[in-house]
């Protein structure tokens, strides 16, 4: 198992038997709380409005949106929320399901980014292959700041890089107004200062400055108070 997974495991280790029981009991509660009518709206087909590329970290789930994600979020996950390893699945959400939003969601304390900042040469070839792709967005890291600050900035750089890759892939849809590509960080350590658990918008269709995003025509329905509470960026020492 990757060292960064071990480093971030803080829950009680269940046995396989306990884990199976937890899954079955949890699903039983889910079934008891719902009726047949709850499933009728999407039993034949799905209707998501957002294709979300997120990290497979267990601390990041679509419940953070605060709405029922069933039939609304087409979700793709891999370590480090990377476009390349899951491009086919993302294509399906964007081009087949035609979701108007493609969201790249990074998160605080991302273990994949931390691993890519160090030596992962002893991991399996498959893990190495996925982690190697993170070297590209991390090139701007000059190693001069405290490690934790560099780590959180690299998480932001990775989101920007994945948005850039998506823009190259779906530029026509962005230009004709049928798609918005959103880069965000789920901040559960309050690094951005907007509150624990805030989804902070850091990139919109390649725009990365707070001023550009605030002025964007893609946000007409968002109240000013919400814009002020969810749009921002971390700055490197050179930018401060």
What is the predicted pLDDT for the residue at 9?
A: 43
Burial class (CB in 10 A: 0-12, 13-18, 19+), 231: buried
Determine, yes or no, domain membership for 40.
no
The answer to the question of residue 17 being in a domain is no
Query: What number is the average pLDDT over the span 134-155?
Result: 90
pLDDT of residue 136: 86
- Domain assignment of residue 121, yes or no: yes
Q: Is the pLDDT of residue 3 over 80?
A: no
Please say if the pLDDT value at position 196 is more than 90: yes
According to the model, what pLDDT value does residue 240 have? Answer: 63
Q: How far apart are CA 79 and CA 174, in angstroms?
A: 26
Please report the DSSP string for 169-223 in residue order. HHHHHHHTTS-EEEEEEEESS-SSSS-TTEEEEEEETTB-SHHHHHT-TT-TTS-
To the question of pTM greater than 0.75 for the whole model, the response is yes
pLDDT beyond 90 at 205: yes
Q: Is residue 235 part of a domain?
A: yes
119-134: per-residue pLDDT in tens?
998 899 998 988 998 9
pLDDT of residue 1: 38
Give how many domains the chain has, as a whole number.
Answer: 1
Residue 115 within any structural domain of the chain: yes
Rounded to an integer, the average pLDDT of 195-220 is 92
Dihedral sign, Cα of residue 43, residue 45, residue 49, residue 52: positive
Residue 173 lies in a domain: yes
70 inside domain: yes
Encode pLDDT of 60-115 as tens digits.
Answer: 988 889 888 898 999 999 999 999 999 999 999 999 999 999 999 999 999 999 99
pLDDT confidence of residue 174: 97
pLDDT at 32: 95
| Residue 137 domain boundaries | 46-239
Task: Say what the pLDDT of residue 10 is.
Answer: 45
The verdict on residue 178 lying in a domain is yes
CATH code (residue 151) = 3.40.1050.10
- For residue 98, the SS3 value is coil
Please give the share of the chain, as a percent, with pLDDT higher than 70.
Answer: 94
The radius of gyration of the chain's CA atoms, rounded to the nearest angstrom, is 19
């Amino acid at each position: 198992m990757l060292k960064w997974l071990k480093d971030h495991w803080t829950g009680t280790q269940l046995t396989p038997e306990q884990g199976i029981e937890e899954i079955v009991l949890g699903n039983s509660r889910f079934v008891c709380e719902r009726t047949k009518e709850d499933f009728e709206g999407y039993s034949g087909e799905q209707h998501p409005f957002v294709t979300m590329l997120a990290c497979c970290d267990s601390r990041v789930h679509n419940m953070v949106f605060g709405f029922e994600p069933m039939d609304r979020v087409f979700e793709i996950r891999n370590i480090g929320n990377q476009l390349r390893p899951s491009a086919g699945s993302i294509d399906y959400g964007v081009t087949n399901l035609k979701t108007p939003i493609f969201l790249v969601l990074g998160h605080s304390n991302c273990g994949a980014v931390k691993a890519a900042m160090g030596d992962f040469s002893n991991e399996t070839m498959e893990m190495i292959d996925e982690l190697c792709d993170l070297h590209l967005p991390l090139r701007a890291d000059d190693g001069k700041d405290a490690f934790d600050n560099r780590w959180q900035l690299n998480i932001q750089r990775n989101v920007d890089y994945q948005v850039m890759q998506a823009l190259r892939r779906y530029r026509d849809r962005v230009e004709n107004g049928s798609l918005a590509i959103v880069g965000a960080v789920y901040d559960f350590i309050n690094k951005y200062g907007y509150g624990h658990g805030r989804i902070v918008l850091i990139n919109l269709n390649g725009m990365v400055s707070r001023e550009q995003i605030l002025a964007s025509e893609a946000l007409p329905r968002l109240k000013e108070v919400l814009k002020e509470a969810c749009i921002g960026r971390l700055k490197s020492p050179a930018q401060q």
